[in-house]
Amino acid sequence: AQSVSQHNHHVILSEAASLELGCNYSYGGTVNLFWYVQYPGQHLQLLLKYFSGDPLVKGIKGFEAEFIKSKFSFNLRKPSVQWSDTAEYFCAVNAAAAGNKLTFGGGTRVLVKP
Amino acid sequence: NAGVTQTPKFRILKIGQSMTLQCTQDMNHNYMYWYRQDPGMGLKLIYYSVGAGITDKGEVPNGYNVSRSTTEDFPLRLELAAPSQTSVYFCASSPTGLAGVGGEQYFGPGTRLTVT
Protein backbone atom coordinates (compact mmCIF):
# COMPACT_ATOMS: atom_id res chain seq x y z
CA ALA A 1 0.00 0.00 0.00
CA GLN A 2 1.19 3.49 -0.70
CA SER A 3 2.29 5.70 2.15
CA VAL A 4 3.11 9.37 2.53
CA SER A 5 5.64 10.73 5.01
CA GLN A 6 5.98 14.28 6.20
CA HIS A 7 9.24 14.62 8.03
CA ASN A 8 8.47 17.45 10.40
CA HIS A 9 5.50 17.36 12.72
CA HIS A 10 6.03 20.88 14.01
CA VAL A 11 7.88 23.86 12.57
CA ILE A 12 8.31 27.23 14.25
CA LEU A 13 9.50 30.18 12.21
CA SER A 14 9.76 33.91 12.42
CA GLU A 15 8.09 36.13 9.83
CA ALA A 16 10.10 36.60 6.64
CA ALA A 17 11.92 33.29 7.15
CA SER A 18 11.87 30.74 4.36
CA LEU A 19 9.80 27.60 4.70
CA GLU A 20 10.38 24.15 3.27
CA LEU A 21 8.24 21.18 4.21
CA GLY A 22 9.27 17.72 3.15
CA CYS A 23 6.98 15.10 1.67
CA ASN A 24 7.99 11.65 0.46
CA TYR A 25 5.78 8.90 -0.86
CA SER A 26 6.31 5.21 -1.38
CA TYR A 27 4.54 4.44 -4.65
CA GLY A 28 6.68 3.77 -7.73
CA GLY A 29 4.16 4.33 -10.50
CA THR A 30 2.37 7.36 -11.85
CA VAL A 31 1.20 9.72 -9.13
CA ASN A 32 -0.80 12.88 -8.76
CA LEU A 33 0.36 15.08 -5.90
CA PHE A 34 -1.35 17.65 -3.71
CA TRP A 35 -0.65 20.02 -0.86
CA TYR A 36 -3.56 21.08 1.32
CA VAL A 37 -3.61 23.67 4.10
CA GLN A 38 -5.83 23.84 7.14
CA TYR A 39 -5.90 27.23 8.86
CA PRO A 40 -6.94 27.27 12.52
CA GLY A 41 -10.61 26.48 12.83
CA GLN A 42 -11.11 26.08 9.10
CA HIS A 43 -11.48 23.21 6.69
CA LEU A 44 -8.84 21.97 4.29
CA GLN A 45 -8.11 24.01 1.21
CA LEU A 46 -6.02 23.13 -1.81
CA LEU A 47 -2.68 24.97 -2.02
CA LEU A 48 -1.39 23.40 -5.21
CA LYS A 49 -1.34 20.20 -7.22
CA TYR A 50 0.79 18.37 -9.73
CA PHE A 51 -0.48 16.08 -12.46
CA SER A 52 2.10 16.29 -15.21
CA GLY A 53 4.42 18.68 -17.00
CA ASP A 54 6.69 21.19 -15.28
CA PRO A 55 7.77 19.61 -11.98
CA LEU A 56 7.88 23.02 -10.32
CA VAL A 57 4.32 23.91 -9.43
CA LYS A 58 3.14 27.29 -8.22
CA GLY A 59 0.12 27.57 -5.97
CA ILE A 60 -1.79 30.19 -4.09
CA LYS A 61 -0.36 32.62 -1.52
CA GLY A 62 3.20 32.40 -2.86
CA PHE A 63 3.66 28.69 -2.26
CA GLU A 64 5.41 26.37 -4.68
CA ALA A 65 6.35 22.72 -4.72
CA GLU A 66 8.83 20.68 -6.66
CA PHE A 67 8.22 17.13 -7.80
CA ILE A 68 11.44 15.11 -7.88
CA LYS A 69 10.51 11.73 -9.28
CA SER A 70 13.87 10.10 -8.56
CA LYS A 71 13.52 11.00 -4.88
CA PHE A 72 9.79 10.27 -4.61
CA SER A 73 9.44 13.74 -3.13
CA PHE A 74 7.11 16.70 -3.43
CA ASN A 75 8.47 19.37 -1.08
CA LEU A 76 6.57 22.56 -0.38
CA ARG A 77 8.36 25.91 -0.22
CA LYS A 78 7.68 29.55 0.46
CA PRO A 79 10.52 32.10 0.33
CA SER A 80 9.15 34.44 3.00
CA VAL A 81 6.41 33.43 5.40
CA GLN A 82 3.86 35.63 7.07
CA TRP A 83 2.07 35.26 10.38
CA SER A 84 -1.06 34.33 8.39
CA ASP A 85 0.72 31.19 7.13
CA THR A 86 0.29 29.64 10.55
CA ALA A 87 -1.60 26.46 9.74
CA GLU A 88 -1.32 22.72 9.34
CA TYR A 89 -0.07 21.52 5.98
CA PHE A 90 -0.87 18.16 4.46
CA CYS A 91 0.76 16.40 1.56
CA ALA A 92 -1.46 13.95 -0.32
CA VAL A 93 -0.79 11.46 -3.06
CA ASN A 94 -3.03 9.73 -5.55
CA ALA A 95 -1.48 6.67 -7.13
CA ALA A 96 -2.98 6.18 -10.57
CA ALA A 97 -3.47 2.49 -9.85
CA ALA A 98 -5.42 3.31 -6.69
CA GLY A 99 -8.23 4.94 -8.60
CA ASN A 100 -9.81 7.89 -6.89
CA LYS A 101 -8.30 7.57 -3.45
CA LEU A 102 -6.00 10.06 -1.78
CA THR A 103 -3.41 9.07 0.80
CA PHE A 104 -2.51 11.86 3.21
CA GLY A 105 0.64 12.44 5.15
CA GLY A 106 0.46 13.03 8.89
CA GLY A 107 0.58 16.78 8.54
CA THR A 108 3.04 19.48 9.64
CA ARG A 109 1.95 22.19 12.04
CA VAL A 110 3.60 25.48 11.16
CA LEU A 111 3.69 28.34 13.61
CA VAL A 112 4.91 31.69 12.34
CA LYS A 113 5.87 34.09 15.10
CA PRO A 114 5.26 37.78 14.37
CA ASN B 1 -23.04 27.97 -3.70
CA ALA B 2 -22.71 26.74 -0.15
CA GLY B 3 -20.13 24.14 -1.24
CA VAL B 4 -19.87 21.15 1.09
CA THR B 5 -21.91 21.35 4.28
CA GLN B 6 -21.79 19.00 7.24
CA THR B 7 -24.05 18.58 10.24
CA PRO B 8 -23.74 18.47 13.15
CA LYS B 9 -20.59 20.45 13.98
CA PHE B 10 -20.14 18.77 17.34
CA ARG B 11 -21.59 15.67 18.93
CA ILE B 12 -20.99 13.62 22.05
CA LEU B 13 -22.11 10.00 21.95
CA LYS B 14 -22.20 7.33 24.56
CA ILE B 15 -20.60 3.98 23.80
CA GLY B 16 -23.00 1.81 21.83
CA GLN B 17 -25.13 4.65 20.51
CA SER B 18 -25.56 5.22 16.80
CA MET B 19 -25.73 8.36 14.72
CA THR B 20 -25.60 9.66 11.18
CA LEU B 21 -23.25 12.40 10.05
CA GLN B 22 -24.79 14.38 7.24
CA CYS B 23 -22.93 15.69 4.20
CA THR B 24 -24.42 17.67 1.34
CA GLN B 25 -22.80 19.36 -1.64
CA ASP B 26 -24.46 21.70 -4.10
CA MET B 27 -21.79 21.67 -6.80
CA ASN B 28 -23.18 18.65 -8.68
CA HIS B 29 -19.98 16.71 -8.00
CA ASN B 30 -19.98 13.03 -8.79
CA TYR B 31 -17.27 12.04 -6.32
CA MET B 32 -17.72 12.24 -2.57
CA TYR B 33 -15.50 11.11 0.30
CA TRP B 34 -15.52 10.65 4.04
CA TYR B 35 -12.33 11.03 6.06
CA ARG B 36 -11.45 10.96 9.70
CA GLN B 37 -8.67 13.14 11.07
CA ASP B 38 -6.73 12.13 14.15
CA PRO B 39 -3.85 14.15 15.62
CA GLY B 40 -0.55 13.41 13.89
CA MET B 41 -2.16 10.85 11.59
CA GLY B 42 -3.37 13.05 8.77
CA LEU B 43 -6.64 12.11 7.13
CA LYS B 44 -7.72 8.52 6.64
CA LEU B 45 -10.29 7.62 3.98
CA ILE B 46 -13.32 5.82 5.39
CA TYR B 47 -15.60 5.46 2.35
CA TYR B 48 -16.03 7.12 -0.98
CA SER B 49 -18.54 7.25 -3.80
CA VAL B 50 -18.11 7.85 -7.53
CA GLY B 51 -21.78 8.56 -8.12
CA ALA B 52 -25.28 7.98 -6.85
CA GLY B 53 -25.78 4.35 -5.91
CA ILE B 54 -22.06 3.51 -5.97
CA THR B 55 -19.91 3.36 -2.85
CA ASP B 56 -16.63 1.72 -1.95
CA LYS B 57 -14.47 1.18 1.11
CA GLY B 58 -11.48 3.28 1.91
CA GLU B 59 -8.64 2.59 4.29
CA VAL B 60 -10.59 2.47 7.59
CA PRO B 61 -14.21 1.42 6.89
CA ASN B 62 -14.84 -0.79 9.93
CA GLY B 63 -17.62 0.49 12.17
CA TYR B 64 -19.08 2.76 9.51
CA ASN B 65 -21.63 2.55 6.73
CA VAL B 66 -22.56 4.89 3.90
CA SER B 67 -25.21 5.29 1.27
CA ARG B 68 -25.50 7.54 -1.77
CA SER B 69 -29.08 7.78 -2.96
CA THR B 70 -28.65 11.22 -4.56
CA THR B 71 -25.78 13.16 -6.11
CA GLU B 72 -25.99 15.77 -3.35
CA ASP B 73 -26.02 13.68 -0.18
CA PHE B 74 -23.53 11.23 1.28
CA PRO B 75 -24.39 10.39 4.90
CA LEU B 76 -22.02 8.44 7.14
CA ARG B 77 -23.57 6.10 9.66
CA LEU B 78 -21.91 5.00 12.89
CA GLU B 79 -23.41 1.90 14.45
CA LEU B 80 -22.47 0.96 18.00
CA ALA B 81 -20.16 3.90 18.63
CA ALA B 82 -16.82 3.11 20.26
CA PRO B 83 -14.22 5.41 21.89
CA SER B 84 -11.87 4.64 18.96
CA GLN B 85 -14.29 6.56 16.74
CA THR B 86 -13.61 9.79 18.60
CA SER B 87 -12.26 11.97 15.81
CA VAL B 88 -12.95 14.85 13.47
CA TYR B 89 -14.83 13.74 10.38
CA PHE B 90 -14.52 15.53 7.07
CA CYS B 91 -16.63 15.11 4.00
CA ALA B 92 -15.25 16.11 0.61
CA SER B 93 -16.40 16.19 -2.97
CA SER B 94 -14.74 16.35 -6.35
CA PRO B 95 -16.14 17.02 -9.83
CA THR B 96 -13.97 14.37 -11.44
CA GLY B 97 -11.63 11.60 -10.48
CA LEU B 98 -8.33 12.63 -8.97
CA ALA B 99 -6.26 12.16 -12.10
CA GLY B 100 -7.81 14.99 -14.01
CA VAL B 101 -7.55 18.72 -14.30
CA GLY B 102 -10.51 19.12 -11.99
CA GLY B 103 -9.40 16.43 -9.65
CA GLU B 104 -9.18 18.38 -6.45
CA GLN B 105 -11.31 17.75 -3.45
CA TYR B 106 -13.45 20.37 -1.74
CA PHE B 107 -13.82 19.85 1.97
CA GLY B 108 -16.61 20.54 4.39
CA PRO B 109 -16.06 22.21 7.79
CA GLY B 110 -15.95 18.93 9.70
CA THR B 111 -17.83 17.24 12.53
CA ARG B 112 -16.07 16.81 15.87
CA LEU B 113 -17.30 13.59 17.46
CA THR B 114 -16.52 12.38 20.96
CA VAL B 115 -17.52 8.91 22.13
CA THR B 116 -17.42 8.38 25.89
Long-range contacts, stretch B44-48, CB < 8 angstroms, 24+ apart: B44/A104, B45/A101, B45/A102, B45/A103, B46/B76, B46/B89, B47/B76, B48/A100, B48/A101
Question: Which of A21-25, A79-83, B49-53 is predicted least confidently?
Answer: B49-53
Whether the pLDDT of residue B98 is over 90: the answer is no
Whether the pLDDT of residue B101 is over 60: the answer is no
Chain A: closest CA distance from residue B16 (Å): 29
Judge: A94–B108 Cβ closer than 8 Å, yes or no: no
User: Which is nearest to A65 in space by CA: A39, A45, A47, A80?
Assistant: A47
User: Which is nearest to B86 in space by CA: B25, B33, B10, B28?
Assistant: B10
Average pLDDT on B1-11 reads: 91
Task: Give the pLDDT confidence score for residue A97 in this predicted structure.
Answer: 75
Whether the pLDDT of residue B102 is over 60: the answer is no
Query: Do A35 and A19 contact (CB within 8 A), yes or no?
Result: no
Whether the pLDDT of residue A100 is over 80: the answer is no
Residue A31 dihedral angles phi and psi, to the nearest 5°: -130, 155
Judge: A105–B42 Cβ closer than 8 Å, yes or no: yes
Task: Give the pLDDT confidence score for residue A43 in this predicted structure.
Answer: 86
User: Which is nearest to B35 in space by CA: B115, B110, B116, B114?
Assistant: B110
Testing the interface with A: which of B98, B104, B112 to mutate, by most A Cβ within 10 A?
B98
Task: Give the pLDDT confidence score for residue A30 in this predicted structure.
Answer: 86
